[in-house]
């Protein structure tokens, strides 16, 4: 029995830890622009938001970092009325983090929030 002999096994976890908000922002910005470039607000909003979230998560996972990623997306028609959102988290800001991507055109506003929580074993 290795434990009773004082030998401990160290698990190698091949992922980097440390949230890079700029990197996440650029990835998600490209996803938003790719899905909505040249589009005007219309009834396709559910498909757009699903595509933005799915593509963003796919690209964030490809970074090879040990994170639980949470992505939210809101697309609203541009109007004279305001659109306000807020979020908050209680975590260790060294490995964990968040970023918000705001984009708009003549007909709509888009806000995507990314939350990453490091997986530490």
What would the pLDDT profile of 13-72 be if each residue is shown by its tens digit? 444 557 888 999 999 999 999 999 989 999 889 999 999 999 999 999 998 888 899 999
Q: What is the mean pLDDT of the chain?
A: 84
Domains along the sequence of the chain with CATH? 21-81+93-118 (3.30.1140.40)
Give the pTM.
Answer: 0.80
97: Cα separation from own chain's centroid: 10
Tell me what pLDDT residue 14 has: 44
Sign of the alpha-carbon torsion through 42, 109, 32, 84: negative
Q: Map residue 24 onto helix, strand or coil.
A: helix
Q: How far is CA 13 from CA 7, 66, 68, 89, 121, in A?
A: 19, 8, 15, 26, 8
Q: For residue range 100-116, what is the model confidence (pLDDT) as tens digits?
A: 999 989 999 999 999 99
């Amino acid at each position: 029995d290795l434990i009773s002999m004082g030998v401990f096994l160290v698990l190698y976890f091949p992922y980097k830890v440390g949230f890079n908000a700029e990197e996440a922002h650029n990835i998600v910005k490209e996803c938003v622009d790719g899905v909505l470039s040249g589009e005007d607000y219309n009834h396709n909003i559910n498909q757009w938001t699903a595509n933005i979230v799915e593509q963003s998560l796919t690209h964030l996972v490809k970074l090879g970092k040990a994170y639980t990623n949470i992505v939210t997306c809101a697309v609203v028609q541009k109007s004279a009325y305001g659109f306000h959102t807020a979020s908050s988290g209680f975590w260790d800001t060294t490995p964990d983090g968040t970023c918000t991507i705001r984009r708009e055109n003549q007909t709509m506003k888009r806000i995507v929030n990314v939350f990453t929580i490091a997986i530490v074993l």
